[in-house]
Amino acid sequence: GAGVSQSPRYKVAKRGQDVALRCDPISGHVSLFWYQQALGQGPEFLTYFQNEAQLDKSGLPSDRFFAERPEGSVSTLKIQRTQQEDSAVYLCASSLGGGRSTDTQYFGPGTRLTVL
């Protein structure tokens, strides 16, 4: 089937606005990851879901960031009261198994967020 998809691909927000970024993982994939990639940097981990359970949210930079995966498939990353330092590409990845180290992560194209 199709790979990981993300929407929107590009988002421009004014400082203080709330944004919601969507990730559609590969069908049947148990694990879902969100990463943040600042310009010129490698991605950094934000949060991890195994099915609908958010097992690790240690990478979320502040309580303005919230992620959910209510039915264990589509996930939404929400950022409240956006600030300029939130500008980055937000990457979603999914993998078949439940966090085993041998699983390949398949990445979506990312959402480029620009906060003015």
Task: Tell me the closest approach of the beta carbon of residue 95 to another protein, in angstroms.
Answer: 9
Q: Rounded to an integer, what distance in angstroms lies between the CA atom of residue 62 and that of residue 104?
A: 28
Q: Is 45 in the site for another protein (CB under 8 A)?
A: yes
The token pair at 53 is 């359970």
What is the C-alpha end-to-end distance of the chain, expressed in Å?
A: 37
For another protein, the binding residue among 44, 53, 78, 85 (CB under 8 A) is 44
- Which is closer to another protein, CB of 25 or CB of 110? 110
**Do residues 70 and 55 lie in contact, with contact meaning Cβ atoms separated by under 8 Å?**
no
The encoded tokens of residue 35 equal: 């990463």
SS3 state of residue 108 = coil
* 48 binding another protein? (CB under 8 A): yes
Q: Does 84 bind another protein (CB under 8 A)?
A: no
Asked if 104 interacts with another protein (CB under 8 A), we say yes
Judged by DSSP in three states, 84 sits in helix
Interface residues toward another protein, by CB under 8 A: 31, 33, 35, 37, 40-45, 48, 55-56, 58-59, 89, 91, 93, 99, 101-102, 104-110, 112
